[in-house]
Amino acid sequence: MGETLGLGMAYHKLASLYVDMGRLDQAKEILIKGLDFSTKYQLSMVKFKCYHLFYEIFKLENDPVNALKFLELYLKERESVINAQTLKVIENYDLINKMEAVKKEAQLQLEKAEIIEKKNHAEQAAIVKQEFLSTMSHEIRTPLNAVITIAALLTDNVEEEQELISALRFASNGLLLLVNDILDFTKLDAGKSTLEMRPANFKQLLDNIKKTYESLAHEKGLKLNLIVDNGIADSYQMDETKIAQILGNLVTNAIKFTYFGEVDIIVEKLGSFESDDELRFKIRDTGIGIAENYLDEIFESFSQPKSITTRKQGGSGLGLAIVKKLVSLHGSNVVVKSKEGIGSSFHFDLKLKRAEKLNKVFLKFTDSLQGKTVLLAEDNVINAMVISKLLANWKITVESAKNGLEAVEKSKQKAFDFILMDIHNARDGRF
């Protein structure tokens, strides 16, 4: 019996040496022979030592399924060894303490596997949600753009019923803003939004923002002020679209929750460096203010103070969440100060690189498009009709294709000045 046990232990010892040398495949081959030998001669101790070494090998190979399988075989064989009253033999090989440690490690591995599985489920659910919101936003925006464009075309051609058409445009534009908020938020939340820095006329941008929201303020009897420090450059390297979006959301919010007084757009110069200026952007209002215990929550998604939200304010609850993410994209933070009944101020600081003053000349190019030919690939009938109407207003001849494949065939038969299609149709046509 002693010689048989010794030979069985030799299999285990040889496999252990192969593991130490990193030759795992050879170790497995020796362990299989050891298991066959221990099964033939009923050497339980050799068997469970081989099971345990298999468990260690599969753990090294990052194979949790097989590792857990052999761990369970090991524990089961251990129980059989104990039941067979061979505990003294196990003690002679200093394995009792190791078994307890392995048992605890197995429990930890099981708990870790459960945590990883829950994490994967949560991440998958988040991805599905983002894809759904993004898809729905695009699907809703397509007919909305058609409605807005049709209303614009009607306004150009019909003098009667202007009030109804204006109401249609106002309502559809409001809905489009909500959809855009959802789409912008999902892109930012998924980390798909990046800064596109280029020279921009800074003071013209500020003036355009003021003009854009001035009528909204006047409708509520409010005064919208633009206050810019002296010494601020005319042009900076910046992502003009995102800066406009940040300030636009903050100004809209300020006007929404202000019923008398004024809203200020303030740009202060905090300091100058070799080629940069550090600027503070501040939006200040005399509105109803925000409760102190709510200040930490206002930047959360879909968040609006219950105490001040009514149908009159409305909104998606994403405006400030988008502002926070866009400012964070610039490497800065939004600071809010507010007192109920007095007003609120939001500010953030950006370091912008000064740029050469831009002298843009804006020209009307539509006249130069007269007589041009366009191939329009669009599978949505309403979209095709609206786009064709717009192009016709510019005296452009339009020929339509239902999909990318048809567009490819038509482009082979005839030369066009332009081809218009979305990315889905482009894939369809193997462009």
268: enclosing H helix or E strand: strand 262-272
Cβ-proximal residues to 110 (8 Å cutoff; 6+ apart), any chain: 68
Report the alpha-carbon distance of residue 204 to residue 370 in Å, rounded.
31
How many Cβ atoms are within 10 Å of 91's Cβ, its own excluded?
11
The pLDDT, as a whole number, for residue 85 is 55
In 3D space, the residue among 272, 274, 284 whose CA is nearest the CA of residue 232 turns out to be: 272
The pLDDT, as a whole number, for residue 47 is 86
220: enclosing H helix or E strand: none
Q: What would you report as the CA-atom Rg of the chain, rounded to the nearest whole angstrom?
A: 35
The pLDDT, as a whole number, for residue 270 is 94
In 3D space, the residue among 399, 400, 398, 395 whose CA is nearest the CA of residue 369 turns out to be: 395
Place of tokens 């459960």: 114
The pLDDT, as a whole number, for residue 297 is 78
For residue 44, the SS3 value is helix
The pLDDT, as a whole number, for residue 311 is 40
Cβ-proximal residues to 344 (8 Å cutoff; 6+ apart), any chain: 254, 257, 284, 285, 287, 289, 290, 336, 337, 338
pLDDT tens for the chain, residues 1 to 431: 568 888 888 888 898 999 899 899 999 999 899 889 888 888 888 888 888 889 889 989 898 888 888 888 888 887 776 665 555 555 555 566 677 777 788 888 888 888 888 888 777 766 766 666 666 666 666 666 767 776 676 655 555 566 656 656 655 665 666 666 666 666 676 666 788 899 999 999 999 889 888 888 998 999 999 999 998 999 999 999 889 889 988 998 899 999 999 999 999 999 998 899 999 999 999 999 988 888 877 877 555 555 444 444 445 566 788 889 899 989 999 999 999 999 999 999 999 999 887 665 545 566 678 889 999 988 877 778 878 888 888 889 999 888 888 888 888 898 999 898 876 655 554 55
Structure tokens at 82: 């104990």
Report the alpha-carbon distance of residue 322 to residue 315 in Å, rounded.
13
**Strand positions, DSSP E, 140-261:** 198-201, 223-228, 235-238
Identity of the amino acid at 148: I
The pLDDT, as a whole number, for residue 241 is 85
30: enclosing H helix or E strand: helix 24-40
Report the alpha-carbon distance of residue 196 to residue 342 in Å, rounded.
37
The pLDDT, as a whole number, for residue 45 is 80
Q: Answer yes or no: are the C-beta atoms of 310 and 320 closer than 8 Å.
A: no
The pLDDT, as a whole number, for residue 307 is 46
